[in-house]
Amino acid sequence: MSGGQQAESARPSPIKGKVKDESVWRADWWDVYPLTEQAKRPIAWAHGCAVFFAHPSLPLVICRILSTGRQFLIATSLASGYQPPTVITTSPDGSWLFAYFPSNDDDGIGCIWKRGATIEAWNLREHWPFPRGAGAVGTAWLGVAGRPWKLNSNGTLDRFPPSGPITPALNPSLLVVTEAMQVNVYYLRPFSAGFKVMSCTLTQPNMTHEGHASEARSLPLISGHSRMCVRAAIGSFPNESTVIVATRCRTYPSDSTKATANSSLDFTAPTDANEHHLFAVSSGGRTDWEFWSEESMIDFCEVNLKYDGAVLHLFTLPMGSIHHPSSHLISLDFVDTQLEARLAAPITGSSPHKDGSKPAGKSFSAYVAAAFLDFTEYSSMGKSDLLAISLTRSSQPVRAGQSPWTIQKLATRDFPSRTLTSIIAHAPLETALKPCLYAVLYNREGIASKPKHKQTAMGSISALNLVDLSDDPEWDSSTIYISAADAGTDFSLDAAVSPNGVLACLSYSQHIAVQSLPRRKSSQDVSNALSLPLAVAIKSKKPINDISHVLRHLSMSRSDTANLLCKTLGILVAGSQRGVTEAEAMGLVQASVELYGLKFPRMQLEFCKNLREKELFTRLRRVMVELCSMAAVRSSFEGCQDDGSYDLEAVWQLTNLSSWVVEFLENLMKECLLVVQAVELNEPEDSMVKKESADHLSISEAASEKLTKISHLLNEPIWLHLVHPLALSNMCTTLAHVIGFYNHVVNLTAKAEDAQIARDVLVDAVQCSGIDLKLLHFLFSECLTEINKQPAGEGTQMLAEGRTLPKLHDQLYQMIQKLAASSVADKSRLFIKPSDLVDGLTQLSLTKAPVRERDVVTNSVLITDEPAMTCIRCGGRSLANGNGIMGSHRSLRWGSWEKKWQTRCICGGEWSLDAIAKAMYKQ
């Protein structure tokens, strides 16, 4: 025995269950070995706030709502005999969900769900059998990813071209790689009753077309052995119609080999190792035990989906393979490195012609990263290594049967003291930045945390350069914390990045954990780090739940939040000749509802300095919701208007909206009158002091001093309705619609008797309001003319800060004075309602009368007994179902407008079931 072997044998080997030093935790080989056994607990982050992951032991998909931490099960009709899902994926737009469930002794099954109105409503659309040995391994969605936004080197936001094949309206189109080295494309044609499927093999050039019968293939055989795909990655790139599939296979004995091996057993004969062999010796001197393992090759295949105007065609063309001696592949992913070049290059395809020749195209390159874990002996922790592969396509034409691709190793790296469990491709939002890899690394030993600490640091997520796989010096790593009781024994099995790229979710054997991603060292400030993702989310109209989740755990004051929103607006405005569009401004308002809102009670109870700060956050959220409501009301009137008249089938719905607008204007006028009254009461009581101060100060200085004293009143968020051009324009236009609808209903003839009751209700609401709507509209129009003269940047800054700029206080106060001094308001009817007098006489009570809750969409009074949907962003409730029915009336125009809000609230938030959402707001 050599000295090295003696030293190794003298070293005490770890024993499972051994008591460890309480001050140090240490991982053992059996804690990491499940990674090599293709242990899969998939995880998928949906378009919104939902994270889907597999149940640890049952054939179920669990959904967790990020903002609340609540979980629910996705409904399935699977009987016993199925295993937990090994593949889970959601479409980029969040409308579809697919999961594959392997069977214990039968065919596996793949299920696809379509999302309903609420985040809990997932309806099983179809399910497909996957033959044994041909289960799903990898998936990708085609044609539903949209066109992402990126920040160019010149500082402007541009849209990328679509990724992958350009196909007709397929909703959706799902590409599935199976264990049998076959690619299946499931697609749903418009007006089609069910999904269709096309299949091609990945092992040789193949072509099929729509309508051609596709049969599930068995495992491909090589020298009497079966090759089964155990890992697959699918890459699609902007401005490229080509989809690249990378696969890794494992060799298993075929049925005939098993029968031969079993027939060689003779338990009655004497055992002789020299005469009887359990398995035959294969060529090359390797036994079947050695051959039945994971192959040392990574195979690549080009997949193309074409549409000729009538039918779809599916092409596959193998590209080649690359060898790597590591025996266990644990993670595989594609990385796109040509972000800037994709914007200008024309879309080219590379599918073969009918004669098999390959057309000339532009040069193309992409990268693939592969993580491996090898165990040379079971007493060691195994070796983690990372491989970067470059794929380059030549721009020169090639002959038939010849691949234009060049595949080569780019870099390798070992991690001797840490264990690599997952790699995550990171495509930066700035095209000028080089892409990098996120590596999920765990330490093999460490210092245990103190008993009072529930978590301890066990690893980190590091950003790596693609060129040499070294740590990128421009990025900081993100620490991975885990329960102190699980330190050294629990390693993540899968990872997923949030839709806006600011968080990662790691799945463990029994739970999942949300983890922050590395940040650039130049963007350690929260506003610098999150302003670009927030701007891109607003441009893309995506939810910002992951961004708000980061802010939830930070001490964000009003100034911090305003700084973030200002920088976001700066990105949206940069390079734009027309400034911020109305859609972008409303997107920022909707984001402000989430950042300032009651959705995160901890942000207001723990991080607010005092009660005044909490109340300010509440008022900010309320004003932002009012801005969204006013824009929605305006669009509803426009949708129900035709040639100056309004749809009388929606008379009750429009009456409810008009009543809400009148009530809102009453509150605004009350605030104006109260501000003027407060200024008058704060005048100096000593007339002599007042006279002396007037002698020493000029008129402008006196006015400035006066504005300084009431600045706290003019900084209230409610004045955004008067000083912001978009808010005032929406309010002025909506008021014009209310006046027009009122005149239209009042002048109804006797033939329209169905609307008589609604007319009486509307007349009472307008005439008893205490404000002159026509005169108020005239004054609003004059104010809007003055407001539109201010620079565009001032309006966007006010929207971000949620208050009036100090230099506009004088103009704001003049507007308030004009409204208060006019004859718009009848103060007696404005502050004292007839219903108050009646209620005071007939219904004397010591308790405060409950406030009537209104539907956040239709603004009608909610019936408390009926189940409603609740917005998880603003907390508003709604019964809107999109059918346009109220009583015996059905308005198609109103129904079309209601359908806009079936899956989204007016503030942009997602709907949740009433019971769950109510519990959320009670916590």
Cα distance between residue 726 and residue 146, in whole Å = 28
Of 673, 694, 704, whose CA–CA distance to 825 is shortest?
673
Q: What is the number of helices (H) and of strands (E) in the chain?
A: 25, 40
DSSP structure class, residue 238: B
- State pLDDT tens for residues 367-394: 899 999 988 766 677 889 999 999 888 7
**Residue carrying structure tokens 């806006």:** 500
Residue 354 in this model has a pLDDT that exceeds 50: no
Q: DSSP string of 640-689? A: TEETTEE-GGGHHHHHHHHHHHHHHHHHHHHHHHHHHHHHHHTS-S-HHH
Q: Is 652 exposed, middle or buried (0-12, 13-18, 19+ CB in 10 A)?
A: buried
- State pLDDT tens for residues 164-195: 887 766 678 899 999 999 999 998 888 888 89
Please give the residue that has the higher pLDDT: either 489 or 556.
489
Q: DSSP string of 505-526? A: EEE-SS-EEEEEPP-BGGG-SH
Residue 526 in this model has a pLDDT that exceeds 50: yes
- State pLDDT tens for residues 432-442: 677 788 999 99
Cβ neighbours of residue 15 closer than 8 Å, sequence gap 6 or more: none
Cβ neighbours of residue 59 closer than 8 Å, sequence gap 6 or more: 76, 78, 82, 83, 84, 85, 101
Distances (CA, A) of 22 to 26, 453, 485: 10, 14, 11
Q: Is 9 exposed, middle or buried (0-12, 13-18, 19+ CB in 10 A)?
A: exposed
Sign of CA dihedral 376, 378, 384, 387: positive
Mean pLDDT of 850-860: 82
Residue 287 in this model has a pLDDT that exceeds 80: no
Residue 697: its pLDDT value, please?
A: 47
**Region of poorest pLDDT, from 103-117, 751-765, 869-883:** 751-765
Name the pLDDT band for 773 (thresholds 50, 70, 90): very high
Residue 127 in this model has a pLDDT that exceeds 80: yes
Cα distance between residue 198 and residue 206, in whole Å = 12
Please give the residue that has the higher pLDDT: either 408 or 601.
408
Residue 14: its pLDDT value, please?
A: 45
Mean pLDDT of 273-279: 38
Cα distance between residue 435 and residue 442, in whole Å = 23
Residue 665: its pLDDT value, please?
A: 94
If you average pLDDT over each of 99-113, 258-272, 384-398, 753-767, which comes out highest? 99-113
Residue 379: its pLDDT value, please?
A: 67
Cβ(98)–Cβ(125) under 8 Å? Answer: no
Of 201, 370, 368, 184, whose CA–CA distance to 294 is shortest?
370
Q: Which two tokens stand for residue 83?
A: 């295993």
Q: Delimit the domains of the chain by residue range.
A: 38-130, 133-254+293-321, 525-609, 644-681+708-846, 851-922
Residue 702: its pLDDT value, please?
A: 60
Cβ(67)–Cβ(83) under 8 Å? Answer: no
Residue 687: its pLDDT value, please?
A: 45
pTM equals 0.85
Cα distance between residue 470 and residue 548, in whole Å = 32
**Region of poorest pLDDT, from 616-630, 647-661, 695-709:** 695-709
Q: Is 15 exposed, middle or buried (0-12, 13-18, 19+ CB in 10 A)?
A: exposed
**Region of poorest pLDDT, from 33-42, 165-174, 255-264, 286-295:** 255-264
Mean pLDDT of 780-796: 85
User: Residue 49 — φ and ψ, nearest 5°?
Assistant: -105, 15
DSSP structure class, residue 913: E
Q: Is the peptide bond before 172 cis (omega within 30 degrees of 0)?
A: yes
- State pLDDT tens for residues 687-724: 444 445 554 445 556 656 767 777 888 889 999 999 99
Residue 136: its pLDDT value, please?
A: 94
**Region of poorest pLDDT, from 273-277, 637-641, 659-663, 812-816:** 273-277
User: How many other C-beta atoms can be found within 10 angstroms of the C-beta atom of residue 905?
Assistant: 27
Cβ(598)–Cβ(618) under 8 Å? Answer: yes
Residue 638 in this model has a pLDDT that exceeds 80: yes
Name the pLDDT band for 295 (thresholds 50, 70, 90): confident
**Region of poorest pLDDT, from 44-58, 164-178, 303-317:** 164-178
Residue 308: its pLDDT value, please?
A: 81
